[in-house]
A and B are shown apart, each in its own frame.
Chain A
């Protein structure tokens, strides 16, 4: 059973369109992170959301943490080809080692 379920798994859109990626779980998290990974590279941290209901904006990217801290979403406005990549949500363990548990990922392709 996947701790973090992401949807959709694959998304192919035209440049200029908007999109939303979802990260859902039955567990409550103290925080969630979103990463973007490009081919041949490691994941790069985009944002950490901590407070239930929190909304963070990073240029054209808007991240929201659910009120119950069980889910999160990533919305991209006016997508560009440079947004193409694998988007991963991740939960940080609360133990002594901050290990990450990643969601299944959303592969986004933005066509010019």
Chain B
């Protein structure tokens, strides 16, 4: 039973560039949430996707966007990268939007130079 997988593991970009991160949810899960975790900080909720739509959004600018595909996998896109976007980006999946048990992937470490 595959857990949550994320790609790539690490990524280095420069300011102003755009990045796409990918997530495959745990088998049987249809809801994906994205979190940003800056170094030494707690994860912060970015948004949640269900039925290919954004259901809830945290306090992040429009430079952060996402997508969910019919197979429930998801992408996180960040445009016009800033140095402050350097962080571990975590994907979590649940069995439904009302599921309380979130399973996290290992994250993608993004470094913006």
Q: Which of A65-112 contact B (CB under 8 A)?
A: 88, 92-93, 95-105
The answer on a CB contact under 8 Å between A40 and B33 is no
Q: Which of B50, B56, B104 contacts A42 (CB 8 A)?
A: B104
A31 in the interface (beta carbon within 8 A)? yes
A45 in the interface (beta carbon within 8 A)? yes
What residues on A are CB-neighbors of B102 within 8 Å? 45, 98, 100
What residues on B are CB-neighbors of A104 within 8 Å? 41-42
Known contacts A98-B99, A105-B42; A44/B104 CB under 8 A? yes
What residues on A are CB-neighbors of B76 within 8 Å? none
What residues on B are CB-neighbors of A92 within 8 Å? 100
Which B residues fall within an 8 A CB radius of A? Answer: 4, 33, 35, 41-45, 48, 50, 55-56, 58, 90-92, 94, 97-107
Which A residues fall within an 8 A CB radius of B? Answer: 31, 33, 40-45, 48, 88, 92-93, 95-105
A97-B97, A100-B92, A105-B41 known; 11 new pairs, CB 8 Å cut-off, are A31-B100, A40-B106, A42-B92, A43-B90, A97-B55, A98-B100, A99-B58, A100-B35, A100-B43, A100-B102, A104-B42
